[in-house]
Amino acid sequence: MIVFGHTPTHRMGAAPGEIWIRPDRIGIDTGAKHGLRLTLVDLTCRKSYSCSTKEKGTYTDFRMAAWGKNEGCEN
């Protein structure tokens, strides 16, 4: 599995502020610098956590998303 940033995920076809996922690659640059989202991923449980970086409401819009099978992890 390769996890990378620096290339905004929306340029690879993901919705703005969402991670980009392929079977062997995950793009996590969800546009924090540009007022979209700051994102981290938990590879063990296949979950992403993100919050808004918009000037108004910075860090107040928390989201969690899961992908694939995440057996043995809390939902």
Helix (H) or strand (E) holding 68: none
Q: How far apart are CA 66 and CA 44, in angstroms?
A: 11
Q: Dig out the tokens for 2 from the structure.
A: 């390769």
* Per-residue model confidence (pLDDT) at position 72: 79
**pTM attached to this predicted model:** 0.84
Ranges in the chain, pLDDT < 70: 75
Q: Are 65 and 58 in contact (CB under 8 A)?
A: no
Reduce the DSSP state of residue 38 to 3 states and report it.
Answer: strand
Report the chain's C-alpha Rg in angstroms: 12
Q: Dig out the tokens for 52 from the structure.
A: 């808004």
* Per-residue model confidence (pLDDT) at position 9: 96
* Per-residue model confidence (pLDDT) at position 13: 96
